[in-house]
A and B are shown apart, each in its own frame.
Chain A
Amino acid sequence: MSQTMTRRQFFKVTAGGFAGAGLGALGLTPEALQAATRPFKLERTSEARNICPYCSVSCGVLMYSIGDKAKNVEASIIHIEGDPDNPVNRGTLCPKGAGLLEMIHSENRLKFPEVREAGSSEWKRISWDEAITRIATHMKADRDANFKTTNEAGVTVNHWPTVGFLASSAASNEAGYISHKVLRGLGVIGIDTQARI
């Protein structure tokens, strides 16, 4: 889905105030933009369509990344703007959505699994394998100790009452469904989501 932008499209983008500011922040000086004597930076990018993850207007966005999808090449998004085809936002983004690029490159993104041991005041980096094994071991120990097959009245309940799970409302529908399926599969009943709040 790579796309070459025409200059006309480009000026439409920069006219969008914030989007323009975002480009400026990337080192494209206004002079260079106007002169357009060198190839436009988005020319070699790939485009992917996505949705702003903030409010429920769910504005369509176009994300431009450098680095194609070839093996051993890491794509990195360098520009995000509103999707002009989306019938709801028609290319606009609000001040929240204008900061999406800075969000995905935030210095506070988590990059590795970590553990904070009981009583410790520090994080410690661990591998995924260690993290999943340790968490699953906790889960199994708790489930084995507290799983209830019947209640006091003898009714089959088959639930695990000592665990709770708060589900993301920024996850995709598919991730939400898989979370639900896994949780019920394990017998979890203490489930809630951000949607309530």
Chain B
Amino acid sequence: MTNHWVDIKNADLILIMGGNAAEAHPCGFKWAIEAKKHRGAKLVVVDPRFTRSAAVADFYAPIRTGSDIAFLGGVINYLLSNNKFNAEYVRYYTNATYLINESYSFADGMFSGFDEAKHSYANDSWQYQKGPDGAPYMDPEMQYPKCVLQLLKQHYSSYTPEMVESVTGTPKEDFLNIAEMIGECSKPDKVMTILYALGWTQHSVGSQMIRTMAIIQLLLGNIGMAGGGINALRGHANVQGITDMNLFGANLPGYLASPSDKEPNLQAFLAAKTPKPVRMAQMNYWVNYPKFMVSLLKAFYGPNATAENNFGYDWMPKITGAQDVLALFEQMHQGKLNGFFCQGFNPLASVSHKAKIGQALAKLKYLVVMDPLATETSEFWKAHGEYNDVKPEEVQTEVFRLPANLFAEQEGSFTNSGRVIQWRWAGQNAPGEGKGDMEIMALLFTKLKAMYADGSGAYAEPIQKLHWPYRIPTSPSPEEVAKEVSGYAMADVLDPKDPTKILAKAGEQLAGFALLRDDGSTACGNWIYAGSWSQAGNLMARRDNSDPSGLGQTLNWGFAWPANRRILYNRASCDVSGKPWDASRTVIKWNGKAWVGNDIPDIRADTPPSESVGPFIMNPEGVARLFAIQGMKEGPFPVHYEPFESPLEANPFFPNNAKARNNPAARVFKGDGDNFGKAADFPHVATTYRLVEHFHYWTKHSVLNAITQPEQFVEIGESLAKEAGIGHGDKVRVSSKRGHIEAVAVVTKRIRSLQIDGKLVHTVGIPLHWGFKGVTRPGYLANTLTPYVGDANTQTPEFKSFLVKIEKA
């Protein structure tokens, strides 16, 4: 979330799309109700199902799963054609005025630069036109045909209300009604927020769905505003924190890149990662990259990291190729992995295509599961009747299962979706011999360190050099680690303007990332968490919930990253002169001398508006990118592509170009393509989702939740029920190209059948909470059905749109 949970109450219009907050995030959703009750805000829900969010909405419209870009592209077209955008915001805070290379083009569904053999784009034509001094050319009037605003207009001109209806199934009047409500929020004193979740991320074009919405929010001038922003409601309680710690092969903590085989030394790495300034006067925050990286290396390798050895850069493993979960299971399936660890992660249930996952796990030599619960993954080798039909004697994997503790038995911090880090205390010990994740990792590490102590074996150096200063080496304490993550001075940190001044003495906790250095004098495990444990103590444990502004900012509750800022890009909540767009919702303002107000300014506090420093300080040009010059695999503007399993033969926008049916840049592994079903055999669209009574595959182990939703079911609309001869309560079999499940049918008015491109399309709803372990009745894992393909950028699997058939069991 660029904003935070309580801030939802400041919105005038709340759009829920690609999510169902009322059931998936119930206690956060009440802030939407608060906005409705106390601000008179309107709630709009667009979803394939009439969800409980829809039940309390002011307006609901159905949509075909997977077609959100067509809908949102239609909104962009509406806003631009009807002059419903905040022109000043767009002109000064986005790249709308920038000119794009003459060689850039988009034709018949494809951008310039496509390499068909590699299924990927070269993005050199997607760049700014630049003058001899390297500064981009701009057209402040936004009229030149190659300027971003005109390209945007052109790009979405075919997303007419008629086309939206035909592709998404949303009736044209419903679409126009919503577009009009959204258009109202282009007024400076009207703000829309968008709440989305996995209903957007879990598509082969998921990242671009989110980007389409971001473009809308930028056109409306709603990013940086109280009550606005782009708000991803993350899945798990600490998914935000673990993302920040970047447990991804390709990243290091704090969204730094992992070194790869393309950067043989620290200098090459820093040169490649540190952006060059494009415009004068911009803050360009990432110029501090070397400080963040060297401080991380110091946290990892401590005194062993010196300027002479490039701060231990060589010890850091260099990645080669993709390391996402789909790539890992593909490697495992090919027999290329020998060992695998699942820490609080149940991939047999939660990665797409269960059969493939099970086959892959059976090729391992050893599997280690660390979990508080008996997961399906830990018993992938065990026969559980029709739900897991395997022969244990044929599975040669050695499986270890280690009991881990649960939240109630842990101390340490969690980061909520609004980036607020909060400290937690334990109330009991884990039952039996259970241990914390940190202790388990430390036990394994100290054991291996001892085994490598005699110098035998492969490259023992980094294991011996890893900084391990914890009082009990086999069990680091949460406090010790939190302090390391926040950062401390290893030598006196001097003021660059006056080296006689010491800003932090050696050994002291650092107040924030501004104190980080690239000379080895500071250690910081995660620069965005810098200052969360300062000399003043553990700021994450603060519990002062006072809210003097009434906006719900509670600046003394916990600690929000970065720098305790609650609303990101809040400089954009003011016009160019530094005056709030809406004074009644002041986040910050320029008082003639400094930026002050109800949040930590997202700009240097003493930078006057006259210096024209842009509000989007993470981009070197200081403005937000309507046109993405880099970072998106399938193009600088979002395009509607069909899901990999679609009821349509062709993309209705590009009916004659088979290459543009699906995301051209998506990665499909050999063999998985043959496992995609066709509409002729699997005519119905299916989507997976959560119920309000359950959380993933966890709460089926809790008897109270099991009582409230004991048995697996699927939902179908009345017209499909009639067509297939299925009655309410019948046992049905739902099959995809990859397998089948059986469940009770719930026949409901909540799922409508839609007219898509001239044909009637039915949707099958598949709640995902059952499995063969738990205290509910046993059920099938829903991912038995889902396809093995992900979003081209994030590789998040396409759980939300696929094809099935349904019959009476």
B-contacting residues of A (Cβ < 8 Å)? 1, 21-22, 25, 46, 48-60, 63-65, 74-77, 80, 82, 85-89, 92-104, 106-121, 123, 128, 131-140, 142-147, 149, 151, 153, 155-182, 184-197
Q: Does B355 contact A (CB under 8 A)?
A: no
Quick one: closest B residue to A154, CB to CB? B264
Jot down 5 A-B pairs with beta carbons below 8 A, ordered by A: A49-B424, A56-B417, A82-B27, A163-B337, A182-B445
Stretch from B92-100, B446-454, B574-582 that touches the partner: B446-454
Contact across chains for B373 and A106 when beta carbons are under 8 A apart: yes
Whether B445 pairs with A164 at a CB distance below 8 angstroms is: no
Q: Which chain B residues lie closer than 8 Å to A104 at the CB level?
A: 406, 408-409, 428
In the assembled complex, which residues on chain A have CB atoms less than 8 Å from the CB atom of B258?
189
CB contact list, B284-301 vs A, under 8 A = 299-300
Instruction: Verify if B191 is at the interface (C-beta below 8 Å from A).
Output: no
CA distance A178 to B365 in the complex (A): 25
List, in ascending order, chain B residues with CB within 8 A of A60's CB: 422
**Residues of B close to A49: CB separation below 8 A:** 424-425
B246 contacts partner chain A, Cβ-Cβ < 8 Å: yes
Contacts of B202 in A (CB 8 A): 197
Chain B residue numbers with a CB within 8 Å of A139 are: 339, 444, 448
Instruction: Please give the distance in Å from B576's CB to the nearest CB on chain A.
Output: 33
Label chain A's interface by main secondary structure.
Answer: mixed
B247 and A176: CB pair below 8 A? yes
Residues from chain A with Cβ under 8 Å of B280 in the complex = none
A193-B300 contact in complex given A86-B545, A182-B445, C-beta closer than 8 Å: no
Residues of chain A within 8 A of B396, CB atoms compared: 118-119
Given A110-B373, A136-B451, A142-B365: A56 and B234 within 8 A (CB)? yes
Measured in the bound complex, the distance between the Cα atoms of B66 and A180 in whole Å is 34
A-B pairs with lowest CB-CB distance, top 10: A168-B344, A111-B432, A172-B412, A94-B26, A58-B416, A110-B403, A99-B704, A147-B458, A63-B427, A167-B247
Mark B769-805 against chain A: 1 for CB-CB distance below 8 A, else 0: 0000111000000000000000000111100000000
Query: Which residues of chain B have C-beta atoms less than 8 A from A123's C-beta?
Result: 401
A-B pair number, CB within 8 angstroms:
501
Knowing that A56-B239, A95-B705, A172-B412 touch, tell me 19 more A-B residue pairs with CB under 8 angstroms.
A48-B426, A50-B427, A96-B695, A98-B704, A103-B702, A109-B403, A111-B433, A116-B398, A157-B261, A160-B317, A163-B338, A168-B242, A174-B485, A175-B412, A175-B441, A177-B525, A191-B247, A193-B248, A196-B794
A171 touches B344 (CB 8 A): yes
- Assembly CA distance A87 to B239 (angstroms): 20
Residue B341 contacts which of A74, A77, A164, A170 (CB distance < 8 angstroms)?
A: A164
How far is B343's CA from A27's CA once the two chains are assembled, in angstroms? 36
Is B466 in contact with chain A by the CB < 8 A criterion? yes
Judge whether A53 and B427 touch: CB under 8 Å: no
Most buried by B among A77, A110, A120: A110
Contacts of B444 in A (CB 8 A): 132, 135-136, 139, 182
User: Which residues of B have CB within 8 Å of A162?
Assistant: 336-339
Interface string of B364-375 (1 = CB under 8 A from A): 011010111110
Whole-angstrom distance between the Cβ of B440 and the nearest chain A Cβ: 8
Q: Which of B129-137, B325-333, B591-599, B656-664 contacts A (4 or more CB under 8 A)?
A: B325-333
Contact of A179 among B26, B372, B437, B526 (CB under 8 A): B437
Report whether A185 and B417 are in contact in the complex, using a CB–CB cutoff of 8 Å: no
Cβ–Cβ contact A140 & B452, under 8 A = yes
Pick the contact of B345 from A85, A94, A188, A193 — CB < 8 Å?
Answer: A193
CB pair A113 B402 closer than 8 Å: yes
Contact between B708 and A179, CB atoms less than 8 A apart: no
Q: From residue A42, how far is it (CB to closest CB) to chain B in Å?
A: 13
Contact between A115 and B399 (Cβ–Cβ < 8 Å)?
Answer: yes
Q: Would A194 and B345 count as touching, CB distance under 8 A?
A: yes
Beta-carbon contact of A164 and B408 below 8 Å? no
How distant is B739 from chain A, measured CB to nearest CB, in Å?
19
Most buried by A among B27, B545, B557: B27
Contact of B414 among A58, A103, A117, A189 (CB under 8 A): A58
When each residue 15-45 of chain B gets 1 if its CB lies under 8 Å from chain A and 0 otherwise, what string results? 0000000001111101000000000000000
Instruction: Compute how far the CA of A22 lies from the CA of B248 in the bound complex, rounded to whole angstroms.
Output: 39
Residues on B with C-beta less than 8 A from A196 are 248, 324-325, 794-796
Q: Is A108 a contact partner of B775 (Cβ separation < 8 A)?
A: yes
Chain B contacts with A in 205-256, Cβ cutoff 8 A: 233-249, 252-253
| B248: contacting residue among A121, A143, A159, A192, CB under 8 A | A192
**Which residue of chain A is the closest to B423 with respect to CB atoms?**
A49
CA distance A128 to B338 in the complex (A): 22
**B432 surroundings in chain A (CB, below 8 A):** 109-112
Are B247 and A180 in contact, with the CB atoms below 8 A?
Answer: yes
B694 and A173 contacting across the interface, CB-CB below 8 Å = no
Give B687 Cβ to nearest chain A Cβ, in Å. Answer: 16
Say yes or no: A165 contacts B366, CB within 8 Å.
Answer: no
Residues of A within 8 A of B176 (CB): none
Q: In the bound complex, what is the Cα–Cα distance between A110 and B457 (angstroms)?
A: 34
The answer to whether A113 and B433 touch across the interface, beta carbons within 8 angstroms, is: yes
In the complex, chain B residues whose CB is within 8 Å of the CB of A147: 458-459
Closest to B367 in A: A116
Nearest-neighbour CB distance to chain B for A145, whole angstroms, equals 8
When C-beta atoms are compared, the residue in chain B nearest to A133 turns out to be B447
| A94 contacts B692, C-beta separation under 8 Å | yes
CB pair A173–B451 under 8 Å, yes or no, is no
Find out whether the CB atom of A114 lies under 8 angstroms from the CB atom of B529.
Answer: no
B245–A55 touching, CB < 8 Å: no
> In the bound complex, do residue B237 and residue A54 qualify as a contact, i.e. CB atoms below 8 Å apart?
yes
Contacts of A159 in B (CB 8 A): 317-320
Stretch of B476-484, B640-648, B750-758 contacting A (4+ beta carbons < 8 Å): B476-484
In the complex formed, the residue of B with least CB distance to A105 is B431
Give A53's nearest chain B residue, CB to CB.
B407
Roughly how many angstroms separate A128 CA and B24 CA in the complex, as a whole number?
37
CB <8 Å contact, A110 and B344:
no
Whether B693 sits at the interface, judged by CB under 8 Å, is: yes
Residue of A nearest to B424 (CB): A50
CB within 8 Å of A: which B347-375 residues: 347, 350-351, 365-366, 368, 370-374
Interface membership of B395, Cβ < 8 A: yes
Say if the beta carbon of B342 comes within 8 Å of chain A.
yes
The residue on B at minimum CB distance from A22 is B704
Interface residue from B242, B253, B422 paired with A194 (Cβ < 8 Å): B242
Q: Evaluate whether A167 and B412 lie within 8 angstroms (CB atoms) in the complex, with A96-B705, A174-B478, A185-B463 already known.
A: no
| A161-B320 in contact given A52-B237, A197-B351 (Cβ < 8 Å) | yes
